Structure 1
Amino acid sequence: MPQKLTVAVAQARTLSDLPSTLAALKRITLQSAARGVQLILFPEAYLGGYPRTCDFGAAVGARGAHGREQFLQYFQSAVDLGDTPAGADDNWVERRLPTAPGKNYRGDGTREFLEQLAQETGVFIATGVIEKAGGTLYCSMVFVDPSRGILGKRRKVMPTGSERLVWGQGSASSLKAMTTEINGVKLTIGGAICWENFMPLLRQSLYSQNVNLYLAPTADSRDTWLPLMRTIGGEGRTFVLSSNQCVRYNELPTWITENASPGDKSADANRYISRGGSCIVGPLGEVLGGPIWEVCPDDSPDMNVSNSDDVDGLVISEIDLEDCERGRLDMDVAGSYSRNDAFKLTVEGLDLNPPPF
């Protein structure tokens, strides 16, 4: 049976609050479904927001009161998925955790919203999320199957630079790949968030699980990002989907801009602080779609269906998953090419064998 699938990346930006962003996610997913998309990836921190340019009033050895207010607003805008601070893994996925009296689900309902949307549209949804659990924020990614609901969730194991001030570190056990079938097409899905993709051993942990769909939501809008995605595609003999936000300075939350430095306030408020760069790459490192720059899906409720990536901020491609196996003729960095008699990789709490179907 042909192993072809239509996939998309959405170069969408976080809106003013969570309900507005969820509504935009729904509109974009509906638009994608109308164009035959079966799987879609949204950017890093799409739900909850990436606090670009914000310093949270912090310096080495000092924290400002206005920075604590900024963190309060950021924390309150984050998503509660009903998980525990340590990460309950399968117990969370399978809904085995206790619920509060009078409630039949945990969290703020975002999980249930995503599961219902995936079921109604028939589109597999993967999206970046700023997740709150206890008193800590995590940069996470959730995987939502149309027929099975949430397949899993992973938390970024190594926040970069100033991200470490506001995000906790996730467990490496969440790098577990997931398997599913979409219209008979067999998928082994894994993901790395933003600069995790620069970590060679982390990439190898995903390759070892024989992923054929590698998801890389990001906040990196430099033109050096595409070469990394091409390297991962060719290195892992896998399809790579990367999605980034496209944001102007005046589209940031007011709790960031009102407390910005005078230099930021006096600069052109209409300037791009993230230009996007979303793309799709094949298992030989070839570029199949994008990168696209300075375009974003329409935020209005009456979004029109368009066939132009430049108009709607979607990159869409039909992929043949058997191309991954064709690529293994001469390269399998976790198998015949790995010299596993000489080199070994272990990851705490993670089985590196390919997951069973």
Structure 2
Amino acid sequence: MAQTLRLAASQSHTLSTTSATLHALEKTTKHASSQSIDLILFPEAYLGGYPRTATFGAAVGARRPEGREQFLHYFKDAVDLGDTPEGAGKKWIDGTLEGGRKRGDGTREELERIARETGVFVVTGLVERCGGTLYCAVVYVCPRLGVLGKRRKVMPTGSERLIWGQGQPSSLRAITTTIKGVKLTLASAICWENYMPLLRQSLYSQNVNLYLAPTADARDTWLPLMRTIACEGRCVVLSANQCMTKSNLPAWITGEKHDDEPITNGHSSAPARLRRKSTITDEGHEIVLPERHDGSSTAITEKPHEDDYVSRGGSCIISPLGDVLAGPLWDDENGLLTTEVDFDDCLRGRLDLDVGGSYSRNDSFKLTVEGLDLSPPP
């Protein structure tokens, strides 16, 4: 029986409201379904947003009031999945916490509906609010069974440490599922977690054959890292990053007032805004072209200049031997990478390298992770 699946990495960028972004996720997933995609990955912090260029008014030993207003807006953009600060794990997945499946703001249920109606397995990055803390997270949503798992980033990078809490290492647990007769063991490492060798090994040790890497890193060094991980783990690697121009940064970051979005106390009072792009003609005239909430233009626009981007993307799909199957995709704000993958290639690659098994020399080298069972899941 063929062990092939069609995979996609969506290079979508966060829109001006979380509801608009969720609607865009649904539209992209429907489009993926029309192309017979079995599983799609969305970027890090796609729902809730990656707050590029925002300072949150912070310096060592000081925080400014305007920075607190930024955090207030960002906090309200985050989603509430009904989890607990310590991470309820299986109880949250099974919906057995107090309040049952009605906990949260309904985002979980919307994601489950989108996966169910499209038949596409959805993996998306998001910013999760819980108590008074934000977490960068990834959720796995099966079309048949709903949410199968969720994990929180264990090590926010740089200024992320100011706005995101540290997640639970126990949530690094891989999950198993079967799609069209193909058994998958999948797990995710978020952005610079992929630079943590022991974290990578914790995933390899669970016999992962689909390694998901939602990211915010658009540097040229990202692709060789993804190729190394695929070759090292003999696994398929899917990486998705947002591609975004300065004009698509939210007003609460830029401080710019838009004609259709009044700014009050540092954050928007409008539910959504109409983004605008402009171009200057040779005669010095400015042409302003509106865009709809789904990011598609109502008129033909010139491709942004490289300097206009705050993130150029770089999404990619890599084979278990480290070959680039699709991408990297640059300067495409709504790109969708797709490819067909034979998961038997993971086993073919383990003829000579299995860093989660014999090649790990686990009789001599030991790795333990607090609260995490490193044996392959059933």
Q: TM-score, normalised by structure 1?
A: 0.91
Which structure 2 residues correspond to residues 1-357 of structure 1 after superposition, within 5 A? 1-99=1-99, 105-258=102-255, 271-297=308-334, 313-356=335-378
- Equivalent in the alignment of 2:302: none
- 8 A contact 1:239–1:324 mirrored in 2: yes
- Please report the RMSD computed on the Cα atoms of aligned residues, expressed in angstroms: 1.4
Aligned-pair identity (%) = 66
- Paired amino acid for 1:316: T
Deviation string 1:7-48 (CA, Å, 9 cap, x unpaired) is 000000000001100110001000010011010000000000
- 8 A contact 1:250–1:269 mirrored in 2: no
Measured in 2, the distance between the counterparts of 1:186 and 1:207 equals 16
Deviation string 1:181-229 (CA, Å, 9 cap, x unpaired) is 0111100001100000000000000000000000000000001100000
Q: Secondary structure at the match of 1:337?
A: helix
- 8 A contact 1:250–1:270 mirrored in 2: no
- 8 A contact 1:249–1:269 mirrored in 2: no
- 8 A contact 1:91–1:97 mirrored in 2: yes
Task: Report the Cα offset of residue 326 of structure 1.
Answer: 0.5
- Paired amino acid for 1:216: A
Task: Report the Cα offset of residue 339 of structure 1.
Answer: 1.3
Q: TM-score, normalised by structure 2?
A: 0.86
Task: Report the Cα offset of residue 296 of structure 1.
Answer: 2.0
Q: Secondary structure at the match of 2:71?
A: helix
Measured in 2, the distance between the counterparts of 1:269 and 1:293 equals 10
Measured in 1, the distance between the counterparts of 2:19 and 2:54 equals 22
Q: Tell me how many residue pairs correspond in the alignment.
A: 331
Which ranges of structure 2 fall in alignment gaps of 5 or more residues?
257-304
Task: Report the Cα offset of residue 151 of structure 1.
Answer: 0.4
- Paired amino acid for 1:13: H
Whichever of the two has the greater Rg, that structure is: 2
Measured in 2, the distance between the counterparts of 1:76 and 1:111 equals 16
